[in-house]
Amino acid sequence: MDTVRIVTGGHTTAGGSKLKPGTNWLIISETQDNYYFTATICHNQSKPIAEKDVGCGYEQKVYGNDIVKLIKQVDELRNKRFTGSKEIYIKESLIASGNYLDGKAQGSWKHYNHRIDENKQNLELEIEYVAGIPNGKTTKYVLEYFPLTIESITQTHNEKLISKNIYGDRFFNYKYISQHKRITNFYRTNEIGDTIYKYQEIRFMNSNLEDFYLHYMDGEYINLIDSSSYNCLCRGNYYKGAKIGNWNYYDRQGNLVNQISYDMPDTISTRVKIFEEDGTPKVVGSMNNGKPIGKWKYYYDGFLEQEVFYNSKSEIITQTRHYIGGGKEVTPYLNEKKHGTEHKYSKSAELSELTNYDNGLKNGLHYRFDEEGNLIYHSRFKNNIETTILRTDGEANIVDGFKDGYNIQLNYKTGKKMHEGLFWKGYRIGKQIRYKDNGDYSVSYLETDKELIMNKCHNTNPINVEHYKSSGELIKIDDN
């Protein structure tokens, strides 16, 4: 049996629910590595299997068993290659209606939101399908609003987005120059049909890694609606992200307040160049048949942020990140995933950290060094799960991914204590001390019964809190 880690967000600033031991859940989740899965807060279809499995959560309208039944129903229709009209329910709520052809959705289907009360507008989508795949028009409606109001209409063809119309006044049109290059034309109109916002964006879709996609403005630009320090009211032309030629700038009343002429940026190069608005380079690299190859440089405000090397198949070989304060991080890749030993260097070019990756996951030994080269941290990763071998900062060791042991947290600027206390499997337990800047401190007493901690929904509230002056004199006691 494989072990997976489910991040629920329980007892964190992200919110979420604690999954109590012994409860059964249906988890529907995205994952980057088939090992870590987000849950409850990250996908609203993750549910306790039945009411008895709610645990630390709350009563549901639909439980995991209901979703499993729905999935089995749809699978049965596909396996039997059903042809005909069909209404699909989850419990008593209609969620979809349309036609099947040979076990696959065909033609126009209506999709309903089962969370909306029956006396409110709950038609969410109308989607045209071909052989089970959205192909054609998709209409999205405003929920809980009468009369029936269209929010957006999109057109797709062969699984590509062709156009989108939002609220009848915002229009996107997409043109695919190649498999890797798309042009987006956008315009927005006012009540009388005048264009008040317009731009053209070129986007390259060459890499599986989101960090490395390329996009830039090109051609005519108009903004007569969005007035802010970031988006001023203006009109002019872009060339590969750079402003060129004459630009007009307006106040909120539409009066011309400034005119600026921009030079054409330096384009004398066999390499691809994308520019900042002021004409300084933003991205520089080479392409072969629409795909990146060789060395690519990425800049931000004139600073070289990263360098990426691609092989002849446009696969990333290595990535170097440069830090504004100095130092860099060099990461090797294999098959578009981190693989090998990642090196980090301080601003004085000294080795500061080594991390080993295997097929995108941290695996093996991990080291950190100070400026003199002394080892200050040593741990081992197994499938991204860390266990500390050595640390010199006073904080608790990490065991199987969780803090475990006595923990002293220092202010990284002053070196003064901020907090100290015991951790067990990531939970704070027992006596916890928090220090104030003036030397006063408080002592909290948390639950220590480990079985109770694991099974209790709310175990972060202290049993009582004692407040002391820096001299040790007791000020008051808060009892809970």
pLDDT digits (tens, 9 = 90+) for 368-397: 999 999 999 999 999 889 999 999 999 999
What pLDDT is recorded for position 358? 95
At 96, the amino acid letter reads A
Structure tokens at 392: 């010199």
Domain boundaries, the chain: 1-60, 76-168, 405-480
Give 260-271 pLDDT, tens digit per residue.
999 998 777 668
What pLDDT is recorded for position 13? 44
How many angstroms separate the CA atoms of 7 and 248, rounded? 50
What pLDDT is recorded for position 117? 76
Judge whether 373 and 392 are in contact, CB under 8 Å.
no
Judge whether 153 and 139 are in contact, CB under 8 Å.
yes
How many angstroms separate the CA atoms of 211 and 296, rounded? 12
Could you tell me which residues come within 8 angstroms of residue 412 by beta carbon, excluding any fewer than 6 positions away?
none
Determine whether 212 is exposed, middle or buried from the number of CB atoms within 10 Å of its CB (0-12, 13-18, 19+): buried
What pLDDT is recorded for position 143? 92
Structure tokens at 7: 């991040």
What pLDDT is recorded for position 23? 87
How many angstroms separate the CA atoms of 199 and 468, rounded? 62
CATH architecture for residues 405-480:
Single Sheet (2.20)
Judge whether 304 and 312 are in contact, CB under 8 Å.
no
Q: Which helix (H) or strand (E) holds 6?
A: strand 5-7
Terminus-to-terminus CA distance in the chain, angstroms? 43
What pLDDT is recorded for position 462? 85
CB atoms within 10 A of CB 438: 8
Using a cut of 0.85, tell me whether the model's pTM lies above it. no
What pLDDT is recorded for position 209? 45
Write the secondary structure of 360-398 as one string of H (helix), E (strand) and C (coil). Answer: CEEEEEEEEECCCCCEEEEEEEECCEEEEEEECCCCCEE
pLDDT in tens, the chain (480 residues): 456 666 565 554 445 667 777 888 888 776 666 655 655 445 667 888 999 998 887 888 899 999 999 999 999 999 999 999 999 999 989 999 999 999 999 999 999 998 877 678 899 999 999 999 999 999 999 998 889 999 999 999 998 999 999 999 999 999 998 888 899 999 999 999 999 999 999 998 754 444 456 889 999 999 999 777 678 899 999 999 999 999 999 998 889 999 999 999 877 766 888 999 999 999 999 988 778 899 999 999 899 999 999 999 888 999 999 999 999 999 999 988 999 999 999 999 999 999 999 998 999 999 999 999 999 999 999 988 999 999 999 999 999 988 999 999 999 889 999 999 999 988 899 999 999 999 999 999 999 998 888 888 776 678 889 999 999 999 999 987
Could you tell me which residues come within 8 angstroms of residue 375 by beta carbon, excluding any fewer than 6 positions away?
367, 368, 369, 390
What pLDDT is recorded for position 136? 97
Structure tokens at 234: 């203006």
Determine whether 57 is exposed, middle or buried from the number of CB atoms within 10 Å of its CB (0-12, 13-18, 19+): buried
Secondary structure (DSSP) of 60-110:
-SS-HHHHHHHHHHHHHHHHTT--EEEEEEETTEEEEEEEEETTEEEEEEE
